[in-house]
Amino acid sequence: MIVLDGKKTAQDLKEEIKITVSEIRKDGQRSPHLAAILVGNDGASLTYVGSKVRSCKYVGFNSTLIHLDESTSEEILLKKIIELNHDDELDGYIVQLPLPNHINEEKILLAIDPKKDVDGFHPSNFGRMALEMDAFIPATPFGIMELLERYQIETTGKHCVVIGRSHIVGRPISILMSQKGQAGNATVTVAHSRTQDLVSLTKNADIIVMALGIPEYLRADMIKKGVTVIDVGITRVADENHPKGYIIKGDVAYDEVAAKAAAITPVPGGVGPMTIAMLLKNTLIAFQRKN
Ligand code: NAD
């Protein structure tokens, strides 16, 4: 059984990006620059944004954190976005989701300049990705593809079952894995909350991507031997024995599934770190396209 080590692979990627940044600097150019807008104080969002900023520093990027109050109006946020769209010193930015309820998420995403949309959530990037044109690919599915490629997991002609149809993970990974190319050419089934007889699908799958957010949902009796399992799930489960008061669980009952699988991503240390590394990669791509 191979553990698809996202932590190590993400570190390798960061080292590669760091080298490219030092070459850019030697060439007399400024560093690539990523900004993040965070509205409010959601605990998980603060953690994610914090580690994105730290990763930027590590590879030598410039980074800007724009932390706005929970009560910030949609109008003020839109003004900030227009400002960032016009900032020539900025290559890419993200708006950390979820946004407070009084802000229309769709309106905000549509306002982002697709050329700076390093999260790849703008319809223009999503459409371009689906049409196999140059695009920013959302970081999580992009990270899964990178992991499959680097570990040379055979996907051609394989039956891949993706569980979850969200716009940021399930839907895009199903598109990418069915496209031509490395880590692609799979026959993909997308399952969701209305799918009937899910077990008949998972039992016949060669690759399973779990992206539903229900801790330890995939169990050993739902899979065949030799399957590759990608666990995207991140759920905070209360645990009073832990200093933080919670532990992180994936969508896979790791020990029992790993015992039957040919390859598997752990949680933590699998898809999560890859997501951050691919955000850096998208920022570098944005910089290179601009220059
Ligand atoms: P989401 O929460 O938007 O949607 C969940 C999906 O699961 C839906 O499409 C729904 O149809 C499906 N679903 C729910 N119950 C189901 C069931 N019983 N059977 C089959 N399908 C079912 O999804 P999301 O935003 O993609 O998040 C999924 C998980 O991935 C969450 O735990 C989230 O925290 C995590 N996540 C991790 C990363 C990362 O970097 N590792 C990135 C994004 C999301």
Question: 38-56, pLDDT tens digit by residue?
Answer: 999 999 999 999 999 999 9
Q: Say if CB 191 and CB 145 are below 8 A apart.
A: no
Q: Say if CB 17 and CB 28 are below 8 A apart.
A: no
DSSP-derived secondary structure letter, 97: S
Single-letter amino acid code for the residue at 281:
K
Question: Which of the listed CATH numbers 1.20.1250.20, 3.40.50.10860, 2.40.320.10, 3.40.50.300 matches domain 29-113?
Answer: 3.40.50.10860
Q: Say if CB 234 and CB 272 are below 8 A apart.
A: yes
Q: Which residues line ligand 1 (CB under 6 A)?
A: 140, 163-166, 168-170, 191-193, 195, 198, 211-214, 232-235, 271-272, 275
Share of the chain above pLDDT 90, in %: 100
pLDDT of the residue at 50: 94
How many A from CA of 250 to the centre of ligand 1? 10
- Tell me the pLDDT tens digit for each residue of 168-209: 999 999 999 999 999 999 999 999 999 999 999 999 999 999
Pocket test for ligand 1, best of 169, 198, 218, 247 (most atoms within 8 A of CB): 169
Can you say whether the dihedral through the CA atoms of 51, 53, 57, 61 is positive or negative?
positive
CA–CA distance, 269 with 266 (Å, rounded to integer): 6
Mean of the pLDDT values across residues 264-288? 98
Burial of 247 (0-12, 13-18, 19+ CB in 10 A): middle
Mean of the pLDDT values across residues 148-174? 98
Count of beta carbons in the 10 Å neighbourhood of residue 104: 13
Q: Return the closest-CA partner of residue 42 out of 32, 50, 34.
A: 50
Integer angstrom CA distances of residue 164 from 167, 191, 216, 251: 9, 6, 14, 11
Selecting among 91, 119, 206, 251, the annotated active-site residue is 119
How many A from CA of 233 to the centre of ligand 1? 7
Strands 159-163 and 207-210, by their bridges, are parallel
pLDDT of the residue at 115: 98
Of all protein residues, whose CA lies closest to atom 17 belonging to ligand 1? 193
Between residues 291 and 28, the one the model is more confident about? 28
Count of beta carbons in the 10 Å neighbourhood of residue 120: 25
The secondary element (H helix, E strand) that includes residue 48 is: helix 43-59
CATH number of 139-272: 3.40.50.720
Residue 27 designated active-site:
no
- Take residue 165 and report the two structure tokens written for it: 């149809």
Residues facing 13 on adjacent strands: none
- Tell me the pLDDT tens digit for each residue of 202-239: 999 999 999 999 999 999 999 999 999 999 999 999 99
Count of beta carbons in the 10 Å neighbourhood of residue 229: 26
Residue 96 designated active-site:
yes
Mean of the pLDDT values across residues 69-89? 98
- Tell me the pLDDT tens digit for each residue of 81-111: 999 999 999 999 999 999 999 999 999 999 9
How many A from CA of 231 to the centre of ligand 1? 10
How many A from CA of 211 to the centre of ligand 1? 4
pTM: 0.97
pLDDT of the residue at 31: 98
Which part of the chain has CATH 3.40.50.10860? Answer: 29-113
pLDDT of the residue at 56: 98
pLDDT of the residue at 178: 98
Measured in residues, the chain has a length of: 291
Q: Say if CB 227 and CB 259 are below 8 A apart.
A: no
Identify the residue whose tokens are 């590759």.
228
DSSP-derived secondary structure letter, 234: -
Which part of the chain has CATH 3.40.50.720? Answer: 139-272
Of all protein residues, whose CA lies closest to atom 22 belonging to ligand 1? 193
pLDDT of the residue at 42: 94
